[in-house]
């Protein structure tokens, strides 16, 4: 397991981080986002999507569960599982698995609400609220194909755990 930690002092730092991360998502990828309400999961996804060329406004999928964006260089599926019960999660599992095995970007906020083991490969992003504008970002993965992204983010100074 390797990880990369980054402290954003303000929203602008978060945007810079997201822009860098987006460079690794041009051919697709799956990101599971964890962190409290207001941590910045949607804010991060918004900036990644914008960098990938999405033209329309990127809004929180909290109420609709899924937002799709097709105007960028790669299709983007942005999920928020917060309001889904376990049965609901089962119903979208096939979709999730299909997306994560294709050349699309999938963001899953509140992935832990599935209460089921995610059946697919992803990079995990934990965002911790430090103060009003300060956030800690921790990228982790147990999957080989995402290791290079973590190394790339840290300019190859990755902490091996």
Ligand X SMILES: Nc1ncnc2c1ncn2[C@@H]1O[C@H](COP(=O)(O)OP(=O)(O)OP(=O)(O)O)[C@@H](O)[C@H]1O
The residue within the footprint of ligand X, chosen from 4, 18, 35, 54 (CB under 6 A), is: 35
Helix (H), strand (E) at residue 20: helix 11-22
Nearer to Mg ion, 36 or 142 (CB): 36
The residue within the footprint of ligand X, chosen from 31, 32, 39, 84 (CB under 6 A), is: 39
> Would you count residue 150 as binding ligand X (CB under 6 A)?
no
Residues in 41-80 that interact with ligand X by CB under 6 A: 41-43, 60, 62, 80
Angle between helix 144-153 and helix 11-22 axes, rounded to 10 deg: 130
Angle between helix 41-51 and helix 11-22 axes, rounded to 10 deg: 50
- Tell which residue, 94, 96, 93, 105, has the closest CA to residue 149: 105
How many residues touch ligand X under the rule CB under 6 A: the total is 19
Nearer to ligand X, 62 or 102 (CB): 62
Q: Are the CB atoms for 40 and 138 separated by under 8 Å?
A: no
Which of ligand X, Mg ion, none has residue 43 at its interface (CB below 5 to 8 Å by kind)?
ligand X
Nearer to Mg ion, 133 or 158 (CB): 133
Coil, helix or strand for 15?
Answer: helix
Residues of this chain that bind Mg ion (CB under 5 A): 41-42, 60, 109
Which of ligand X, Mg ion, none has residue 47 at its interface (CB below 5 to 8 Å by kind)?
none
Q: What distance in Å separates the CA atoms of residue 1 and residue 18, rounded to the nearest whole number?
A: 22
Give, in order, the Cα–Cα distances in Å from 56 to each of 52, 125, 127.
Answer: 12, 24, 25
Positions that interact with ligand X (CB under 6 A): 8, 10-11, 13-14, 35, 37-43, 60, 62, 80, 109, 133, 135
């Amino acid at each position: 397991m390797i990880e990369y930690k980054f402290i954003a002092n303000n929203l602008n730092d978060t945007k810079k981080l997201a822009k860098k991360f987006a460079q690794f998502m041009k051919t697709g990828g799956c990101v599971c986002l964890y962190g409290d309400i207001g941590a910045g999961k949607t804010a991060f996804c918004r900036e990644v999507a914008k960098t990938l060329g999405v033209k329309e406004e990127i809004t929180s999928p909290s109420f609709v569960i899924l937002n799709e964006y097709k105007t960028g260089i790669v299709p983007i599926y942005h999920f928020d599982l917060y309001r889904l019960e376990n049965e609901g999660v089962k119903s979208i599992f096939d979709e999730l698995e299909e997306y994560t095995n294709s050349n699309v970007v999938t963001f899953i906020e509140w992935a832990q609400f599935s209460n089921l083991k995610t059946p697919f490969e992803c990079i995990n992003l934990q965002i911790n609220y430090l103060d009003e504008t300060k956030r800690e970002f921790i990228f982790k993965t147990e999957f080989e194909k995402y290791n290079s992204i973590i190394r790339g983010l840290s300019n190859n100074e990755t902490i091996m755990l």
